[in-house]
């Protein structure tokens, strides 16, 4: 099929999805999955910047022990908005909505997702949700924390809980529809010959994440509706004064919000499998194990929500069961990490930018995962609950894991998306700066938490200052690391050298078409006759003998 | 591949990112079922809340439940099951290409749905009059309690004590949240069916293409099934209060 591509023709003259139509209307009314992926890319970048801005304010406040930059009320609003923006409007949609949207149809040999209009509607829902959340910021903010714990959120908070909650409800429907679209597409639109066990692992990972989106998000939706009803009409479902139970809110909330972590991390893990096999030029070691581990993570993910409530008053026996189940998640996670490592072994590894991000992912995810075991242990968890240890742990997993996968994937497929190459030197620098900045920001927080600094406080005892200053310094390095790609990727869209269809010599259907791809991806649906990752390196053959 | 693509392309409802009409149908069927699964989970959250509290606050929930009008509830259940039948007949009309049958039964389904909502409105009005709506003016007085105790004694219940005002209010909160969310789904369903009537009259459906009718039918049946669970849980379950351990 690669013969169909005429590389000699310049990007400007060839018709592709970017220049097939012009004007704002052609973008806002598009049903092309690739254009919708770009719409998501821009809006998610915007929300990420907004969430990052709140992070900067948090780290500035925590530079000094005294709560001197803002009042505690303002601080509560700042970390709440940081959490809401980052979790619901960046981490959850980032990889599936951008890379997943762009790649899944191409990877399985389809012309589009099964429901293109629904896909566009998802983006609009996402934007409307984001507008609601931003409305709550500009009209005074919300101070409940991103978890909306009741009865504070339903009764006592005097801030804009309702618009923020509605924003998350609406964005949740966007997530449900995206997941639904992916599942149907993967089930029904695979090209002839593309069996389940020939699918790229990126598709498997997004499939598993979609299952969680479809099965978890509705429960969050109804929970938010109940919070809304209770706040608006003072009915007592979660208010203990009226017979309700705030713990029940936590059960329902975490039934979605713990699996939500796997909505974030699974697609990034899918990116990892693609990157590691492409840049070590080997088939993923234990393909079926990696594929099934995604599904296993999705399944186990639904059984562990109670570990958020070890100290909330649930029964000791429930806590023990949730503790054991939480350990179980480590098994499929470790299967992935070990199999990636085994893939690297004796591979011909090349250290290009996406691979640097992949290594960054391995480092951060491993630290985050191992500290997750600390937190799954009932006794240790009681000691570090609601301290910076927890903050550091979930930033390593959620932020470290997702950002590394997201940026690694974005770099890997950037030539496919834009048809142009980015400057390799700058890109490598950004990967390095982000990795260092990230560790400098969040590693001290493990120590802080272990020493007893609670989360969500805007002032702290003086002995914690050194570590906090380190963390804030790390955050400014991290910010530079995030800004670099913004500049050079934008630069490369105009001035980057043309990439050709397959600059990394990678496998997979998406690399067999021109960059950028034509609007309908495939003139003729391809017939797949080989396994995924059919890399053959020169070394591979003699080593075996 | 190319051939099957171009030959299937003649139907006006065919979308060109699919290979065949059959593939399009399979995709949308799977999509609809997945959507219904999300709906089950959506209601599932409320069912969980209801079951937890009913277990904890048994006496209060029994007392609250006994004030609901079983006659109206039963009538509505019959109406709704009837509407499921007419909906199924409408789908059959679409399948066999009988436009009159399709339009007629769709309209009948809408009328039955509206009847259900009308009865629901009457029930809600009663609740307002009796001050059984959660909020500052909520009342659950000696009259209701006496009624409950009589029923419970007659049925030799051991659990007649411990009726708390807050807990009864919780029962009514859940009653309004669950039946309200169900009614909202009915209203959406009636909207969808109205669009179908309009399109069916313009001959948009044929035995080759009637997927939207089929999916609206699935949705309608789903909403009915939710009621089939709500009715016993809210109205009937307490009637066996005596044999509960």
- Which ranges constitute the DSSP H helices of chain B? 2-8, 21-56, 58-66, 70-95, 99-129, 142-154, 165-201, 211-231
Contact residues on chain A for B2, CB-CB shorter than 8 A = 524
The tokens for A401 are 């894991």
Beta-bridge partner residues of B206: B209
Res A248: pLDDT: 92
The number of C-beta contacts closer than 8 angstroms across A and B is 125
Question: Which residue is listed with tokens 């003086």?
Answer: A462
Judge whether residue A541 has pLDDT over 70.
no
Whose structure tokens read 């570990």?
A307
Q: How far apart are CA A441 and CA A470, in angstroms?
A: 7
Q: What is the pLDDT of residues A309-360, one digit of tens each?
A: 999 888 889 999 999 999 999 999 999 999 999 999 999 999 999 999 999 9
Residue A220 contacts residue A172 (beta carbons within 8 Å): yes
Q: Of A113, A227, A221, whose CA–CA distance to A173 is shortest?
A: A221
Which residues have a Cβ under 8 Å from the Cβ of A189 and sit 6 or more positions away? Answer: A105, A108, A109, A110, A113, A114, B18, B23, B27
Which residues of chain B neighbour A115 with C-beta distances below 8 Å? 27-28, 31
Q: Tell me: pLDDT of A211 over 50.
A: yes
Q: Nearest to residue A413, comparing CAs of A300, A278, A236, A542?
A: A278
| CB B48, CB A252: distance < 8 Å | yes
Q: Is pTM, for the whole model, over 0.90? A: yes
Confidence tier at B157 by pLDDT (50, 70, 90): low
Choose among B19, B42, B174: nearest Cβ to A525: B19
| Two structure tokens written together for B219 | 């949705």
Exposed/middle/buried for B52, CB within 10 Å: 0-12, 13-18, 19+? middle
**Per the CB < 8 Å rule, is B41 touching A219?**
yes
Tell me the two tokens of residue A10.
């310049």
Q: In the structure, what pLDDT confidence band is assigned to residue A14 with cuts at 50, 70 and 90?
A: confident
Q: How many CA atoms, within 13 angstroms, populate the side-chain half-sphere of residue A114?
A: 26
Token pair 């080997």 is found at A282
CB contact under 8 A, B173 and A236: yes
pLDDT at position B244? 44
A387 SS3 class:
strand
Dist. CA A408–CA A515, nearest whole Å: 18
Give how far Cα B92 sits from Cα of A350, B101, B208, Å. Answer: 62, 8, 13
User: Measured between CA atoms, how close is A15 to chain B, in angstroms?
Assistant: 18
pLDDT band at A261 (very low <50, low <70, confident <90, very high): very high
Q: How many CB atoms are located within 10 Å of the residue A279 CB?
A: 26
State the complex-level ipTM: 0.87
State residue B10's pLDDT score.
67
CB-based contact B23 A188, cutoff 8 Å: yes
What would the pLDDT profile of A120-140 be if each residue is shown by its tens digit? Answer: 999 999 999 999 999 998 998
pLDDT of residue B2: 43
Contact assessment for residue A291 and residue A229, using Cβ atoms and an 8 Å cutoff: no
pLDDT single digits (tens) A404-463? 999 999 999 999 999 999 999 999 999 999 999 999 999 999 999 999 999 999 999 999
A111–B174: do the CB atoms touch at under 8 Å? no
- β-partners of residue A454 are A387
Predicted pLDDT of residue A7: 47
Which H or E element spans position A334?
Answer: helix A316-344
Find the radius of gyration of the CA atoms of chain A: 23
Please give the Cα distance from A433 to A281 (Å, whole number): 26
Higher pLDDT, A413 or A6: A413
Write out the two tokens for A331: 């098994």
């Amino acid at each position: 099929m690669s013969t169909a591509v005429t590389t000699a023709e310049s990007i400007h003259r060839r018709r592709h999805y970017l220049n097939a139509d012009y004007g704002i209307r052609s973008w806002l009314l598009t049903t092309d999955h690739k254009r919708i992926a770009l719409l998501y890319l821009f809006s998610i970048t915007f929300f990420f910047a907004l969430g990052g801005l709140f992070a900067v304010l948090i780290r500035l406040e925590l530079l000094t022990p005294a709560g001197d930059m803002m009042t505690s009320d303002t601080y509560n609003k700042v970390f709440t908005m940081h959490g809401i923006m980052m979790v619901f409007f960046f981490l959850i949609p980032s990889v599936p909505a951008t890379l997943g949207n762009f790649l899944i149809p191409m990877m399985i040999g389809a012309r589009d997702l099964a429901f293109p209009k629904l896909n566009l509607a998802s983006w609009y829902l996402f934007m409307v949700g984001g507008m609601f959340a931003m409305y709550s910021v500009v009209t005074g903010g919300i101070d409940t924390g991103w978890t909306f714990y009741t009865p504070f959120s339903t009764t006592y908070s005097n801030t804009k809980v309702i618009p923020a909650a509605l924003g998350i409800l609406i964005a949740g429907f966007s997530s449900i529809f995206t997941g639904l679209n992916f599942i149907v597409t993967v089930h029904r639109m695979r090209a002839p010959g593309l069996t389940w066990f020939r699918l790229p692992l990126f598709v498997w990972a997004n499939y598993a994440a979609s299952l969680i989106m479809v099965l978890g998000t509705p429960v969050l939706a109804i929970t938010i509706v109940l919070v809304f009803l209770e706040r608006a009409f003072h009915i007592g479902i979660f208010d203990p004064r009226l017979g309700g139970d705030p713990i029940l809110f936590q059960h329902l909330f975490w039934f979605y919000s713990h699996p939500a972590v796997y909505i974030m991390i699974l697609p990034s893990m899918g990116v990892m499998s693609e990157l590691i096999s492409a840049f070590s030029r080997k088939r993923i070691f234990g393909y079926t194990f990696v594929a099934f581990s995604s599904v296993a993570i999705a399944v186990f993910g639904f059984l562990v929500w109670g570990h958020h409530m070890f100290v909330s008053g649930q029964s000791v026996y429930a806590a023990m069961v949730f503790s054991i189940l939480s350990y179980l998640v480590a098994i499929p996670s470790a299967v992935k990490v070990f199999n990636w490592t085994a893939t690297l072994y004796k591979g011909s590894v090349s250290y290009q930018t996406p691979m640097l991000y992949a290594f960054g992912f391995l480092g951060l995810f491993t630290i985050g995962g191992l500290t997750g075991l600390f937190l799954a242990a009932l006794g240790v968890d009681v000691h570090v609950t609601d301290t910076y240890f927890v903050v550091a742990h979930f930033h390593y997993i959620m932020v470290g894991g997702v950002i590394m996968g997201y940026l690694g994937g974005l770099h890997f497929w950037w030539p496919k998306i834009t048809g142009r190459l980015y400057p390799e030197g700058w890109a490598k620098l950004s990967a390095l700066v982000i990795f260092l900045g990230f560790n400098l920001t969040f590693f001290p927080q493990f120590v802080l938490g272990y020493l007893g600094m609670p989360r969500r406080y805007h002032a702290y005892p003086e002995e914690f200052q050194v570590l906090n200053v380190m963390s804030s310094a790390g955050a400014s390095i991290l910010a530079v690391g995030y800004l670099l790609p913004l500049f050079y990727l934008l630069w490369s869209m105009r001035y980057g050298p043309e990439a050709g269809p397959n600059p990394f010599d990678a496998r997979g259907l998406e690399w067999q078409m021109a960059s950028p791809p034509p609007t309908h991806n495939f003139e003729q649906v391809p017939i797949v006759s080989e396994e995924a990752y059919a890399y053959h390196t020169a070394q591979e053959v003699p080593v075996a003998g | 591949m190319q051939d099957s693509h171009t030959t299937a392309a003649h139907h006006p409802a065919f979308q060109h990112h699919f290979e065949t009409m059959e593939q399009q149908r399979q995709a949308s069927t799977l999509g609809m079922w997945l959507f219904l699964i999300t709906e089950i989970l959506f209601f599932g959250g409320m069912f969980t809340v209801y079951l937890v509290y009913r277990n904890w606050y048994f006496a209060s929930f029994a007392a609250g439940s006994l004030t609901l009008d079983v006659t109206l509830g039963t009538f509505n259940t019959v109406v709704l099951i009837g509407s499921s039948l007419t909906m199924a007949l409408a789908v059959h009309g679409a399948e066999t290409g009988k436009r009159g049958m399709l339009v007629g039964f769709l309209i009948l389904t809408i009328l039955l749905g509206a009847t259900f909502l009308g009865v629901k409105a009457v029930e809600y009005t009663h609740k307002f009059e009796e001050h059984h709506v959660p909020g500052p003016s909520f009342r659950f007085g000696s009259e209701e309690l006496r009624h409950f105790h009589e029923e419970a004694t007659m049925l030799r219940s051991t659990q007649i004590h411990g009726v708390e005002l807050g807990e009864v209010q919780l029962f009514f909160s859940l009653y309004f949240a669950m039946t309200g969310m169900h009614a909202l789904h009915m209203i959406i369903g009636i909207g969808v069916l109205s669009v179908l009537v309009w399109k069916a009259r313009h001959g948009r459906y044929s035995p080759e293409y009637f997927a939207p009718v089929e999916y609206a039918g699935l949705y309608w049946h789903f909403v009915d099934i939710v009621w089939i669970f709500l009715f016993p849980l809210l109205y009937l379950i307490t009637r066996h209060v005596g044999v509960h351990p």
